[in-house]
């Protein structure tokens, strides 16, 4: 909840910097925050799996 408020505030400030309204920026900020909360853990998870596969494959080359 606090993250949504912070994302909306930052998005509003970025969008309002041109002198017009900032409602669209607030919505975009919250949408980006919600997407990042889902995408970043998934990227870390799949990156760790890929690194593990590469690590195990390289261990077979040493023998």
Q: What local confidence, expressed as pLDDT, does residue 52 receive?
A: 94
26: which residues sit within 8 A by CB, 6+ positions away?
8, 9, 11, 12, 15
pLDDT of residue 16: 76
**Distant-in-sequence, close-in-space partners of 11: CB < 8 Å, separation ≥ 6:** 22, 25, 26, 27, 28, 29, 30, 32
pLDDT digit string (tens) for 1-31?
788 888 888 888 877 776 777 788 888 888 8
Helices (H) and strands (E) in the chain, counts: 2, 0
Cβ atoms of residues 11 and 28 within 8 Å: yes
């Amino acid at each position: 909840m606090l993250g949504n408020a912070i994302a909306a505030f930052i998005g509003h400030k970025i969008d309002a910097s041109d002198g017009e309204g900032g409602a669209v920026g607030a919505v975009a900020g919250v949408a980006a925050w919600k997407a990042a909360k889902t995408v970043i853990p998934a990227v870390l998870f799949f990156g760790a799996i890929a690194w593990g596969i590469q690590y195990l494959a390289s261990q077979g080359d040493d023998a």
